[in-house]
Structure formats: C-alpha cells, structure tokens
A and B are shown apart, each in its own frame.
Chain A
C-alpha cells in the first residue's frame, strides 16, 4: 500500500466488561477513501470514533494498543485530544449544525483555533462552503439559521464546518443515512472531490455507496476486521466466506 496515513496496531476496546473491538490491525492510506462496512453492532462506528478519541466522553471505555496518525500516537494519554480533533475532523450520522447562522457554523472551528481576523474568517468560510458545494445555495443568506436548511444541505454544511479547520483526516459516520438519494449523490461527489486533499474514512450501511466511493473497504463482524482490501476485491472476489455472505446479502 502507498503512503500510510493512519496505522492501527493490536487495538482492543472494552466498554466495561464488554469486549467491543478485538485485536484490530489495519492501515488507512493517505488521500484515499476507506469504507467500513458490516452488520449493525459490528463495531465499525466504535472503531471510527476511536480515531478522534470521541470515546473520551464515555468513562467506561478502555482502549488498548496503538493508533498512529503518521507519527502521532493518538491513544497516548499525553497526546492532546484537542490537537487530535483539529487533525481528525468528523461528520456525524444525523446532520448536527449548531443552532447558529450558516456563517457562524463554519466560522466556529476557526474562532476556536484562534483566528479572529474577520476578513480571514470570511474568506475561509466562503472557500469551505465552495469546497462543500453549498456556496451557490447559501451565499445570499449566510446569516440565516442553519436549522432552516434541508437535511442534505445541513450535512454538506457540517462537512464545510469540519474542513474549515483544515484537518488531515475526515471521519464520516453513515453521513447519508438520513438523506434522500439526490442529497446522497451530492455528498458522494463531494467526497470524491475531497479525497484529493484529505484522507477519508466512512462508515456506511449502504454497499452500493461503498462501491461507488471507496478505494478500500474493510468488512467487520463482531468486533473484528474479517477482510480488508481494495473495494473491488471485497465485493467481487472476497477471500472469506463471511465476507461473501455479507456482500451478497445473506445476512446483515
């Protein structure tokens, strides 16, 4: 594989006494889209949320092993979680813009990182909204509440908000599951565009979506990575029986 962006080594995650992720070893290449697929409860969202330490919020989560973002040890207690989240942005399953204006949603992360020059912020907001293909629809009403946008627009706004702080990696947790097909298509086009600048990891339930956007796909089952490889291989020539049964729709 090419340039490795994220390397996960001997990674285990427990919630209390429940062993949720088992001995994960996987590498995500830079400037590619990796899809995590698998039935509900297989741990794909949990794995995704480990990559920007969202589990810090749940007191009973116990993480072991090593996750490397280039040479940064993400799980090391001395690694600043705020710095991690600046490098690893996240887009959630349900669009969750803040109840603020469209402009302020994108500006939020910039203000947080200490950009206070309003002209810089304005320029950055515009460029992020353009990169997320939502500028044309919103440029005349940037002061409108983000909650008045449609679901698909809200999700593109959330992507704009995530890329505003110039992360290196973008995590997406089933970003289209609450959207209609047209909005979904727009987001997928956007992802294909964004991978030139960012490394993208996407959790999806939609196997067509994985085939449309992902360069690599990992199939997970009961907390383990069963098979990982180029998307074409996972869907058309799976090596494992479990993978074959899943992608052919025998269970899920």
Chain B
C-alpha cells in the first residue's frame, strides 16, 4: 500500500526525470530531423557533388546544381579568421584579468565583457555595415568593405566573452605554488606567465578556444549582414563570402516545400550541426581532462 508521501515523492522524481529526458529528446529530434530530411536530398544529389563542387545554383534553368564547397570554405575562412583575432586577444585579456589587474579594474572589466555577450547579433551586424565596412574599404583601398574580414572581426568580438571567461577560469586555477616556484628561480612575471602559468593550463585554454569556435561557426545574422553574401569560392579575406548559416537563413523562406532544394538546406544544416557537435565534444572532453587534473 503506497502512502501519500511515497506517492508525491515518486511523482516529483518522475516529473524531473521527464524534464531532463525532454531536453535529450529535443536534441535527438533535431538531429533526427536534419538527418532524415538531409538523406532525402541525397536521393537526387550525390554526396560527392554536394561536398566537392562549389557551384550552388538551385534555381538554374535546366540542371540545378547543389555544391556546398564555397559555403563550407567561406564558413571555415570566416571562423578561422575570427579565431586568429579572438584567441590571442581573449587569452591576453584573461591573463591580464587574473594575473595583473588590480581588484577594482577586474570588477569593472569583467561585467563589461559579459555584457558584450548580451549585444544582439543583428546589432553587431549593423555595426559591421556602418562602422567596420567603411574602415576596411578605406584602409585596404577596396570598393566595398563587406567581406570575409569584416565577418571575422565581428565574430571575433562575439567570441571574446566566451573565450575570456573560460580562459580566465583556467588561468586562475593554476596553483599559486607554481608561480612562486618560478619567481623564486628569478623569473619575472612575464616569463612566469609564458613559461609556467599558461603551459600549466593549456587544456583549459584549448577548451576556451573550442567553445569560442563553436559559438562563431553557428552565428548567422552577423555574417549574413556583413560579409557581402556572394556565393562564390573566396580567394582571401577581401572577398565577399556567404556562409552555410547565411545560405540557410536566406533561402529557407522562399524554397518550395518538399523539393530537392528544400532538402538540400536540411543537408546544409546537418553538416553544420556535425561540425559544431564535433567541436563541442572535443571541447568538453578537453575541459573534462582539465577539471580532473585541477588545472
């Protein structure tokens, strides 16, 4: 015979289990939907021509083409450019905050950086168009500043809060005794940082980079607005590009339901999802190693 208390106990137990299960279910649902619809795309287009070709022209007269090469490369180009800018800046800021800055400076800068993450991506894109683009076109003598470099700069800014907060936590977790050991051997604070503190938390810094990368690669609105939207193979940072995310966002609203083009957008989403999934899994496993070692 079950009494009242046991009943409610079990009820809540199941309620929370259900809530947790729902999250996993939603994730699996999204993944399943992307894969199933993506697979239907490959009934009419080969995987090889999808990944290998860079000619994306679904509404062409005669034979439509579905090659994502240019978009994949654009996405990687913009993201890598963003990381090249954001990682040194982010780790430098984190090192400053945890090792150098006096308490009151840290108390001001940390919330400011966290607030940076709260700026809506459409606002960042807007700044890209009206501020960054003219500067780029003037400095490099281009007719138009809406290109991959613009996207990289904006995405770098958007990745900074993630990179800084994770990297700062990693640097802060390096035991003081390591630093004292280096100081006692006559190292100055710069040498100590570069030869002892940062190497001691490498895995944490890698995790910070990966999480920043995951944040950047899926960003849509900013790159859609600021990178010029030309679906062609870019030859460098001064070329306009169109990323995977921007393509899906632009074309999903117009595509006729159930066509090859429609399923093609799902396939793009699936590729993107796989990339971010891999990056996040890598970041998690590296971060787990870093937590286990306590540094």
Chain A residues at the B interface, C-beta cutoff of 8 Å: 52, 54, 57, 82-83, 85-86, 89-90, 92, 94, 96-100, 108-109, 112-113, 158, 161-162, 165
Docked complex: B171-213 residues within 8 A CB-CB of A: 175, 177-178, 180-188, 191, 195-196, 199-200
| Chain B contacts for A97, CB-based, 8 A | 181
B199: contacting residue among A54, A83, A100, CB under 8 A? A100
Indicate if B295 sits at the interface (CB-CB under 8 A).
yes
Tell whether, in the assembled complex, residue A96 and residue B177 are in contact, meaning their CB atoms are under 8 Å apart.
yes
7 smallest CB-CB distances across A and B, nearest first, come from A96-B177, A90-B184, A85-B186, A109-B185, A82-B186, A96-B181, A86-B186
Contact between chains at B185 and A96 (CB < 8 Å): no
* CB atoms of A109 and B199 under 8 A apart: no
Bound CA span A82–B182, Å: 11
A113 to B188, CA, bound (A): 12
Report the nearest A residue to B184, measured CB to CB. Answer: A90
Which residues in B have their C-beta under 8 angstroms from that of A89?
184-185
A-B contact pairs, 15 of them (CB 8 A): A54-B180, A54-B183, A57-B183, A82-B187, A85-B184, A85-B186, A92-B180, A92-B184, A96-B178, A99-B200, A99-B295, A100-B199, A108-B182, A109-B186, A112-B195
Chain B: CB-nearest residue to A91: B184
Contact A92 B200 (CB under 8 A): no
Residues of A within 8 A of B182 (CB): 98, 108
Q: Is the CB of A98 within 8 A of B181?
A: yes
Measuring CB to CB, which residues of chain B are less than 8 angstroms from any residue of chain A?
A: 175, 177-178, 180-188, 191, 195-196, 199-200, 295
**Inter-chain contacts of B177 with A (CB < 8 A):** 92, 94, 96
- Contact of A99 with B184 in the complex, beta carbons under 8 Å: no
The chain B residue with its CB closest to the CB of A88 is B184
Which of A52, A57, A86, A96 counts the most chain B CB atoms within 10 A?
A96
Cα distance, A92 to B191, chains bound together (Å):
20
Q: Closest CB-CB distance, A56 to chain B, in whole Å?
A: 8
Contact B199 A108 (CB under 8 A): no
Q: Report chain B residues within 8 Å CB of A165.
A: 185-186
Out of B181, B186, B196, which one reaches A158, CB within 8 Å? B181
Separation of A109 and B182 alpha carbons in the complex (Å): 8
User: Is B185 a contact partner of A112 (Cβ separation < 8 A)?
Assistant: yes
Given A108-B195, A112-B191, verify A96-B186 contact (CB < 8 Å). Answer: no
Looking across the interface, which residue of chain A has its beta carbon closest to that of B191?
Answer: A112
Cβ B295 vs Cβ A108 within 8 A: no
Q: How far is A109 from B186 in the complex, measured between Cα atoms in Å?
A: 8
Name the residue on A nearest B175 (C-beta). A96
Inside 8 A of A54's CB, which chain B residues have their CB?
A: 180, 183-184
Pairwise interchain contact A52-B195, C-beta atoms closer than 8 A: no
CB-CB under 8 A from A162, the residues of chain B are 184-185
Residue among B181, B183, B187, B188 having the largest count of chain A Cβ atoms under 10 Å: B181
A54 to B182, CA, bound (A): 11
* B188 contacts A98, C-beta separation under 8 Å: no
| Cα–Cα, bound, A98→B196 (Å) | 7
Give Cα A92 to B182, complex, Å: 12
Assess the B178–A99 pair: CB atoms within 8 A.
Answer: yes
Residue of A83, A85, A100 near B183 (CB, 8 A) is A85
Question: Closest CB of chain A to B291's CB: distance in Å?
Answer: 15
For A113, the chain B residues whose CB sits under 8 A away are: 186
Please name 4 further chain A to chain B contacts, defined as beta carbons within 8 Å, in addition to the given A54-B180, A97-B181, A98-B181, sorted by A numbering. A52-B184, A85-B186, A98-B178, A165-B186
CA distance A34 to B180 in the complex (A): 23
Cα of A113 to Cα of B180 in the assembled complex, Å: 17
Measured between C-beta atoms, what is the minimum distance from A108 to chain B in Å? Answer: 6
State whether A96 touches B180 (Cβ < 8 A): yes
Give bound CA distance, A83 to B295, whole Å. 30
With both chains docked as a complex, state the minimum distance between the C-beta of B81 and any C-beta of chain A, in angstroms.
Answer: 32
Distance in Å: Cβ of B201 to nearest Cβ of chain A: 9
Whether B178 contacts A112 by the Cβ 8 Å rule is no
Q: Which residues of A contact B180 (CB under 8 A)?
A: 54, 57, 92, 96
Residues in A neighbouring B295, C-beta threshold 8 A: 99
Residue of A nearest to B188 (CB): A82
Contacts of A98 in B (CB 8 A): 178, 181-182, 196, 200
B186 to chain A, nearest CB (A): 4
